[in-house]
Amino acid sequence: MALIELAGIERRFQLGDTTVNALAGVDLRIDAGEYVAVMGPSGSGKSTLLNLLGLLDRPNAGSYRLEGRDVTTLTPDEQAKVRSARIGFVFQSFHLVPRLTAAENIALPMMLAGIAPAERARRVERALADFGLANRADHKPDQLSGGQRQRVAIARATIMQPALILADEPTGNLDRHTGDEVVHLLEALNASGVTLVVVTHDPTLGARAGRQLVMEDGCLQHDSGRSAHAAG
Amino acid sequence: MRPADTLRFARDAALGTPLRTALSVLAMSIGVAAVVVLTALGDGARRYVVGQFSSLGANLVIVLPGRSGTGGFNPANAITTTPRDLTIDDAAAVRRAPAVKRVGPLAVGTSEIAFGGRLREVIVAGTNHDYFAIRGLEIAQGTALPDEDWNRGSPVVVLGAKVREELFGATPAIGQLVRVGDRRLRVVGVMKSTGQGLGMNTDEVVIVPAALAQAMFNTNTLFRILIEAKSREAIPEAKVQALEIVKQRHRGEEDVTVITQDAVLATFDRLLGALTMAVAGIAAISLAVAGILVMNVMLVAVTQRTGEIGLLKALGASARSIRLAFLVEAAMLSAVGAVLGYLLGQGGAFALRQAFPVFPAYPPDWAVIAGLSTALATGLLFGVMPARRAARLDPVQALMKH
Ligand SMILES: Nc1ncnc2c1ncn2[C@@H]1O[C@H](COP(=O)(O)OP(=O)(O)O)[C@@H](O)[C@H]1O
Ligand SMILES: [Mg+2]
């Protein structure tokens, strides 16, 4: 079943007199449960694509159907609801709130969604245990290592049990070893059925994914899964 | 977002930048404290003056010679003497008015008083027995003036406390003969000391029968007729009746002015009330300044927390949640500042009352309520703009600022 269907997506940025085509006519279909790596040179439009998939940005043209529903026409608050319930983000620079503890950072999406404190505490405790952070619950981000911070961020991304996780260079700020740990965590999530889209520069990491997309100048230059879908 | 979560989130955000938060709270509290202390001063002055005037006597109506142009209270009338046409018989006639309880004629002059070689200048008030009750003058030794025919003028005198002190020192005064002007008068009473006040300082006065004073100063007019109305409600009636009686006795000519103490009080009350308002207004400017400071603090907070705002949006926060979080933070700064300022102001007013016990420096309720609500309102008002700015941030742009 198609989770994501993009058709004729255009995203242009105006930089002074020149227009940058960050995305130029992107057609893409991702099924539920897929593990997709997005690769390509810097400035090729990977982040722009991920922001669009995450409803943080709107295309200038084209349509985006998420779980069969046209989401480009939704109001900002309706899009916020979709983000809250269906999408989890993992960023290169972690994006933890520095004044909140690990537990509070993980609980943040549930707090924003208005989930009751008791339920929040229950789920946070589970997540802390699942991600090996049980004895770090009350630590602030600056008291955590890079790997621990990214694990907090992943726990936060999954706490609302989303259908889709979007990770933009999640290992970019981590050393090889910790990076691998984080990738294993994300892959385990994918194994449990969550659709995973990862932007990466690292070819070995990209090779681990079930499907590779290569972008260049805002176009999908290569899609390892296209033939399979055309056949299916 | 649940209300409790919004509150906690805003509080943690404010505590995250302690110095900035402390400064805006301080500014707000100084503004509120200024309103409380300054209005306490202004209203204290009002109460002090009103209290002093009230001590002149209860339910007082005063008849003065000469006609006032406006009919209202004119301070000039209260001091200038226009000894024309007001007599003891006028006063006696006024006593028959139904709304009138007591009448005290008053003739005033200066003379000298001597006893045992000691001599001093005094103000001589010529009046009657009832005058003491009207003015609430208390007798320390002896009695007041005798309750006799107002035209009789017995050769007796009641001394002010200071006059007695200077003439007699430790020796008893009652029954002694003193010389006032060219008369020899027997001391029948001494008044209690009243201290310095806004009214006539009775400590340095001697009181003699009205007819005697008139004879001493070779006149047959009165300075004032003091009237005590039967009750507070009867004051307007007493005023009308007194005016009517005197007018009839003066061949239908309205050549006197009747003022009530209420009118005098109301004038001072208005004057000092307006002063308090003006002072409160000036203090309120500092509140507005504090509000602008809160706005700037919040604008800086929005800029510094742009990355966080982008994150919150990515995590599914609605624009409303973000707006509310920042608005609540601004409101918290103002509210804490307001409460702190209130306590500070009350402390200041308390210190004032300790330092000047005669001065009732209590902030009026309206000023406290206005100060607190202005603080909250400006905090909210100036919090709206930063909050809207935060809610409108583009999430992608915001996330890049990290
Ligand atoms: N907000 C923006 N304003 C102007 N140009 C932008 C903006 N965001 C991205 N771009 C441009 O769009 C292109 C794609 O950017 P991006 O998606 O970030 O590339 P990548 O993530 O593959 O490195 C780049 O040329 C970039 O300069
Ligand atoms: Mg990028």
pLDDT tens-place string over residues A94-134 = 999 999 999 999 999 999 999 999 999 999 999 999 999 99
Kindly tell me if the per-residue pLDDT of B402 is higher than 80. no
Q: Give percent of chain B with pLDDT exceeding 70.
A: 93
Q: What's the rounded Cα separation, in Å, for the pair A144 and A155?
A: 14
Of A18, A19, A20, A214, the one to substitute when testing ligand 1's pocket (max ligand atoms within 8 A of C-beta) is A20
pLDDT level of residue B48 (50, 70, 90 thresholds)? confident
Shared-domain flag, residues B137 and B193: yes
For residue B76, is it within any domain? no
Q: Smallest CA–CA separation between B297 and chain A, in Å?
A: 18
Spatial CB neighbours of B198, under 8 Å, sequence gap ≥ 6: B49, B52, B53
Q: How far is the CA of A43 from the centre of ligand 2 (A)?
A: 7
- A32-46, A218-232, B34-48, B264-278: range with highest mean pLDDT: A32-46
For residue B18, is it within any domain? yes
Shared-domain flag, residues B230 and B285: no
- CB spacing of B399 vs A56 below 8 angstroms: yes
What is the reported pLDDT for B279?
85
- CB spacing of B312 vs A111 below 8 angstroms: no
Q: What's the rounded Cα separation, in Å, for the pair B373 and B335?
A: 9
Kindly tell me if the per-residue pLDDT of B197 is higher than 60. no
Shared-domain flag, residues B93 and B216: yes
What is the reported pLDDT for B256?
87
Q: What b-and-e string marks burial along A22-46, b requiring 16 or more CB atoms within 10 Å of the CB?
A: bbeebebbbbebbbbbbbbeeebbb
Kindly tell me if the per-residue pLDDT of B323 is higher than 80. yes
Shared-domain flag, residues B101 and B242: yes
Residue pair A128/A102 in contact (Cβ under 8 Å)? The answer is yes
For residue B320, is it within any domain? yes
Cβ contacts of A113 on chain B, cutoff 8 Å: 316
Shared-domain flag, residues B212 and B101: yes
Q: What ligand is nearest to the CA atom of residue A13?
A: 1
Please indicate if any CB of chain A lies within 8 Å of the CB of B147. Answer: no
Q: How far is the CA of B398 from the centre of ligand 2 (A)?
A: 15
Residue pair B148/B131 in contact (Cβ under 8 Å)? The answer is no
Query: What is the 3 state secondary structure string of A43-65?
Result: CCCHHHHHHHHCCCCCCCEEEEE
Residues with CB under 5 A from ligand 2 (ion): A 47
What is the reported pLDDT for B196?
58
- CB spacing of B395 vs A56 below 8 angstroms: yes
Please indicate if any CB of chain A lies within 8 Å of the CB of B9. Answer: yes
Domains delineated in chain A: 34-60+74-223 (3.40.50.300)
Chain-centroid distance of CA A107 in Å reads: 18
Shared-domain flag, residues B89 and B12: no
Instruction: Report the pLDDT averaged over residues B113-135.
Output: 92
As for ligand 1, residues whose beta carbon falls within 6 Å of it are: A 13, 15, 20, 22, 40, 42-48
Instruction: Report the pLDDT averaged over residues B303-317.
Output: 94
> Could you tell me the maximum CA-CA distance found in chain B, to the nearest angstrom?
104
Q: Residue B110: give the domain boundaries.
A: 83-254
Residue pair A113/B316 in contact (Cβ under 8 Å)? The answer is yes
Instruction: Report the pLDDT averaged over residues B57-86.
Output: 63
- CB spacing of A160 vs B316 below 8 angstroms: yes
- A41 CA: nearest ligand 1 atom: 22
What is the reported pLDDT for B56?
67
Lowest mean pLDDT of A193-202, B125-134, B268-277, name the range. B268-277
Structure tokens at B84: 């024309």
Shared-domain flag, residues B239 and B283: no
Out of B254, B280, B296, a domain closes at B254
Please indicate if any CB of chain A lies within 8 Å of the CB of B400. Answer: no
Q: How far is the CA of A46 from the centre of ligand 2 (A)?
A: 6
Q: Smallest CA–CA separation between A14 and chain B, in Å?
A: 14
What is the reported pLDDT for B194?
78
pLDDT level of residue B268 (50, 70, 90 thresholds)? confident
Q: How far is the CA of A47 from the centre of ligand 1 (A)?
A: 7
Kindly tell me if the per-residue pLDDT of A176 is higher than 70. yes
Lowest mean pLDDT of A12-16, A163-167, B201-205, B267-271, name the range. B267-271
Instruction: Count up the domains in chain B and report the number.
Output: 2
Cβ contacts of A85 on chain B, cutoff 8 Å: 316
What is the reported pLDDT for B195?
66
For residue B62, is it within any domain? no
Q: What ligand is nearest to the CA atom of residue A93?
A: 2
What is the reported pLDDT for B226?
92
Chain-centroid distance of CA B230 in Å reads: 26
What is the reported pLDDT for B11?
94
Nearest-by-CA chain A residue for B398 = A56
Cβ contacts of A51 on chain B, cutoff 8 Å: 396
Nearest-by-CA chain B residue for A160 = B315
Complex-level ipTM = 0.94
- A103-107, B166-170, B199-203: range with highest mean pLDDT: A103-107
Shared-domain flag, residues B48 and B98: no
- A15 CA: nearest ligand 1 atom: 4
Mean pLDDT of chain B: 87
Shared-domain flag, residues B100 and B28: no
What is the reported pLDDT for B81?
42
For residue B64, is it within any domain? no
Q: What's the rounded Cα separation, in Å, for the pair B76 and A187?
A: 97
What is the reported pLDDT for A107?
97
Instruction: Report the pLDDT averaged over residues A174-182.
Output: 92
Instruction: Report the pLDDT averaged over residues A224-232.
Output: 56
pLDDT level of residue B77 (50, 70, 90 thresholds)? very low
Out of B195, B222, B254, a domain closes at B254
pLDDT level of residue B54 (50, 70, 90 thresholds)? low
Tell me the helices (H) and strands (E) count for chain A, helix number first.
8, 10
What is the reported pLDDT for B70?
47
- Pairs across A and B, CB distance < 8 A: 66
From the list B16, B319, B321, the residue facing A76 with the nearest CB is: B319
Q: How far is the CA of A48 from the centre of ligand 1 (A)?
A: 6
Kindly tell me if the per-residue pLDDT of B273 is higher than 90. no
For residue B191, is it within any domain? yes
Kindly tell me if the per-residue pLDDT of B329 is higher than 50. yes
- The size of chain B, in residues, is 402
Question: Which residue lies with its CA nearest to atom 19 of ligand 1?
Answer: A43
Q: Report which residue type is found at A24.
A: A
Q: What's the rounded Cα separation, in Å, for the pair A131 and B352?
A: 62
pLDDT tens-place string over residues B117-126 = 899 999 999 9
Q: How far is the CA of A79 from the centre of ligand 2 (A)?
A: 22
From the list B5, B13, B16, the residue facing A111 with the nearest CB is: B5
What is the reported pLDDT for A230?
43
Please indicate if any CB of chain A lies within 8 Å of the CB of B329. Answer: no
Please indicate if any CB of chain A lies within 8 Å of the CB of B314. Answer: yes
For residue B120, is it within any domain? yes
Q: What b-and-e string marks burial along B26-40, b requiring 16 or more CB atoms within 10 Å of the CB?
A: bbbbbbbbbbbbbbb
- A168 CA: nearest ligand 1 atom: 21
Shared-domain flag, residues B298 and B333: yes
Shared-domain flag, residues B105 and B40: no
Instruction: Report the pLDDT averaged over residues A49-66.
Output: 96
For residue B163, is it within any domain? yes
pLDDT tens-place string over residues B354-387 = 988 888 899 989 889 988 898 888 888 888 999 9
pLDDT tens-place string over residues B202-239 = 888 999 999 999 999 999 889 999 999 998 788 889 99
Shared-domain flag, residues B242 and B104: yes
Nearest-by-CA chain A residue for B12 = A99
- CB spacing of B313 vs A56 below 8 angstroms: yes
Q: What's the rounded Cα separation, in Å, for the pair B57 and B136?
A: 6
Out of B230, B254, B278, a domain closes at B254
Kindly tell me if the per-residue pLDDT of B198 is higher than 70. no
From the list A54, A76, A160, the residue facing B314 with the nearest CB is: A54
Spatial CB neighbours of B9, under 8 Å, sequence gap ≥ 6: A111, B1, B325
Q: What's the rounded Cα separation, in Å, for the pair A82 and A71?
A: 9
Mean pLDDT of chain A: 93
What is the reported pLDDT for B71?
46
